[in-house]
Chain A
Amino acid sequence: MKYLAQQAINALQLGSIYALIALGYSMVYGVLTMINFAHGDVFMLGSFFCLLLIAIVPVPFWLALIVVMGATAILGTLIERFAYRPLRNAPRVSAIITALGCGLVIQNTTLGISPYARPMPHLLDNVTYQFAGITVTTLQIIIIGVSVGLMMVLDFLIRKTSFGMAMRAVASDRATVSLLGVPANEIIAVTFAIGAALGGAAGLLYGMAYPVVSAAMGITVGWKAFVAAVIGGIGNMRGAVLGAFILGTVEVMTVAVLPSTYRDLISYSLLLLILVFKPHGLLGKPTIHKA
């Protein structure tokens, strides 16, 4: 029991980070039905921006979080403006290739500037607490807390504000919404900014939890978060979060009770099974394709 409780905390930490990244994939897909494959690399840059910031001025954690989110938001907007917007009406495949290309450009630029893995300095005093044999660290509490907090803010933004309403409107019918005077391009740009900011926050938290930062770190995590977004129903924000926590739990719990060698085999087979029964993901809605 104690053992499983410890593993549940591990799953919660992993799931929180997957969720923050998955939201970025899902938001962009929601408004543009486009998969932003550069998102994993924006996540990676979140870690590097933090390294850069601390190298210039040693700032407290909260300030670092805000600055990193701001920087990745600007980057997200720039990617949208210069790489994706010119291709808005091009075939979908071109947009995907552009996204992959953007990701590779970001990754290799980082690799060129910093080919070596770097240690992430400590941003906070990490205290280990013991509760009835279960170990919890300050870092874990902050990661889970910040992630859940950001997700709640986003949920409020989408459901309760006029920007959220505009974003949902753009997602459902961009052409008509533009005719009604909603600035669709601005809404899309802000959506990218928010998605990238969440990715940047995830990168910072991830760098703190796993304190070796390298240019290739976004690849595997990015894929997994993308899988999580698809499982939850890509385009649906609550679905992305649900998918991320399911993926985190499945990954940790397969290792917890079965030989770890089979982790990826078992966890991804299970996820495929979900897609067999729910092809649009757990909370996704089937879309009607216009001819």
Chain B
Amino acid sequence: MYLHTRHILAALVLSGILLTSCQPTKPSVKIGINAELTGEMPAVGASCKQAAELFTEQVNKAGGIAVGSEKLPILLSVVDNSCKADQSAAAAQRLISQDGVTVMVGPNASSCAIPAGEIAESLGCLMISPWSTNPKTTQDSQTGKPKKNAFRACFTDRFESPVLAAFATKNLHAKTAAVLYDVSSEAPTSQSALFKEAFEKAGGKVVSMETYSTGDRDFSAQLTKIRESSPDIIYLPAPYNDTPLIAAQARQLGIKAPFLGSDAWSSPDIIKLDAGKNLEGSYFCNHYSTEAATPKAKQFIADYTAKYGNAPDDVAALTYDAMALAANSIASAGKTDRAAVRDAMASTRTFDGVTGHFVYPEAAREPAKSAVIMQIKDGSFHWVSTVEP
């Protein structure tokens, strides 16, 4: 009878959705990306997505992944997890059940990778987290044993935090340290506890251990307390966008001790946000450095920079490695069957990536690989030293 324009429009939109979702799919290998595109750390999600797209483009240009007798192109499915625990679980569910991916790469933030890992485990799909360093990501929450399906392309806090503690005591000759961390986030909480343990084992003393909650902007009360304990160094395992705020407030209160940070500092955005140059001279632990790159890494850095106009940070490099690990597993499984691909990943022992040489010990879900200590100097990251496992 009365057909309003908006009814026609709605019908058109609906049929459009139906048509696009019914498109016949060419044979391909589906890889899912579960990334932090919005939320607390959008720079992490952007790096992850860009590196995955670069890898896909390169592999597809060369014909695709050799699966059995044929070469299949990669079909990438990117889902935003908003950097939230519940949404990363939902994103994992969607990628695995609905999009039917063979491998899921991501999430990166530990607070997202832990719940997504639970989903991957229950649905029996291989997950490779590029950047999550929290031991729990690949651990079964009930038995404490390694999960069957969750792997990662980076070292864990069990390696990173002692590396930093050793650097603080040996290279910076620190005797006392203060720690300020986000108690409502997984990675900083475990990193702080492990740092304290390692620092005190090395003969130092943690004189002040203060916390805040995600979303806090005012740290003056905690920092005033830290100032009273006059530490030699301050360990700040905070993300790249909170750190400049904490540093600015600390310097305003007259705290002069150098800052030490975790790999969560690694986004170049940290320098952009640090308008007052309060982080100048600070050190942090990272997964790789563009300054100490292997020929393979140099090629990746050149390709990435040519495509996106900026050098890849560690999330990008680790995502590229995670994608390569996924592609290798699919190729050596010879089929896109999830269980076979998972078994192929589990039997991978060594791998040469852009972030260094990986060695996966028997039954381990994380590689033993080197870490680098970086310094923020003259407004950019500079390589200081490489620490082998």
Q: How many residues of B contact A (CB 8 A)?
A: 36
Assess the A135–B42 pair: CB atoms within 8 A. no
Which parts of A34-73 form the interface with B (CB within 8 Å)?
A: none
Assess the A251–B221 pair: CB atoms within 8 A. yes
Assess the B215–A260 pair: CB atoms within 8 A. no
| 0 or 1 for each of A209-245: is its CB under 8 Å from B? (1 = yes) | 1111010110111000000000000000000000000
Which parts of B246-281 form the interface with A (CB within 8 Å)?
A: 248-249, 252-254, 269, 272-276
B76 within 8 A of partner (CB): no
Assess the B212–A260 pair: CB atoms within 8 A. yes
Cα(A118)–Cα(B42), bound, Å:
12
Chain B residues lying within 8 Å of A206, measured Cβ to Cβ, are 217
A13 within 8 A of partner (CB): yes
A177 within 8 A of partner (CB): no
Assess the A260–B273 pair: CB atoms within 8 A. no
B290 within 8 A of partner (CB): no
Assess the A210–B273 pair: CB atoms within 8 A. no
Assess the A221–B224 pair: CB atoms within 8 A. no
Return the 3 tightest CB-CB contacts between A and B, nearest first: A220-B215, A255-B221, A10-B220
> Which B residue sits closest to A114, measured CB to CB?
B42
Partner of A255, one of B43, B225, B248: B225
Nearest-neighbour CB distance to chain B for A10, whole angstroms, equals 4
Show 27 A/B contacts (Cβ-Cβ < 8 Å), sorted by A: A3-B228, A6-B253, A10-B218, A14-B220, A115-B37, A115-B38, A116-B43, A117-B269, A119-B272, A128-B254, A135-B252, A137-B252, A209-B218, A210-B249, A211-B275, A212-B217, A212-B244, A216-B215, A220-B217, A251-B221, A253-B221, A255-B221, A255-B225, A256-B224, A261-B183, A263-B213, A264-B213
Which parts of A103-131 form the interface with B (CB within 8 Å)?
A: 111, 115-122, 126, 128, 130
Chain A residues lying within 8 Å of B43, measured Cβ to Cβ, are 116
Partner of B222, one of A13, A111, A253, A255: A255
Chain B residues lying within 8 Å of A260, measured Cβ to Cβ, are 210-212, 221-222, 225
Assess the A252–B220 pair: CB atoms within 8 A. yes
> Which B residue sits closest to A17, measured CB to CB?
B218
Cα(A211)–Cα(B252), bound, Å:
13
The verdict on A116 contacting B269 (CB below 8 Å), with A10-B221, A137-B252, A212-B241 known, is: yes
A7 within 8 A of partner (CB): yes
Chain B residues lying within 8 Å of A263, measured Cβ to Cβ, are 211-213
Nearest-neighbour CB distance to chain B for A209, whole angstroms, equals 8
Partner of B274, one of A7, A119, A219: A119
| 0 or 1 for each of B31-56: is its CB under 8 Å from A? (1 = yes) | 00000011110110000000000000
B216 within 8 A of partner (CB): yes
Assess the A7–B221 pair: CB atoms within 8 A. yes
Nearest-neighbour CB distance to chain A for B115, whole angstroms, equals 20
Cα(A186)–Cα(B248), bound, Å:
43
Assess the A217–B225 pair: CB atoms within 8 A. no
Nearest-neighbour CB distance to chain A for B224, whole angstroms, equals 5
Assess the B215–A212 pair: CB atoms within 8 A. no
> Which B residue sits closest to A257, measured CB to CB?
B225
B245 within 8 A of partner (CB): yes
Partner of B216, one of A116, A121, A135, A220: A220
Cα(A135)–Cα(B213), bound, Å:
25
Chain B residues lying within 8 Å of A216, measured Cβ to Cβ, are 39-40, 215
Which of A212, A221, A264 has most chain B Cβ within 10 Å?
A212
Chain A residues lying within 8 Å of B224, measured Cβ to Cβ, are 3, 6-7, 10, 256
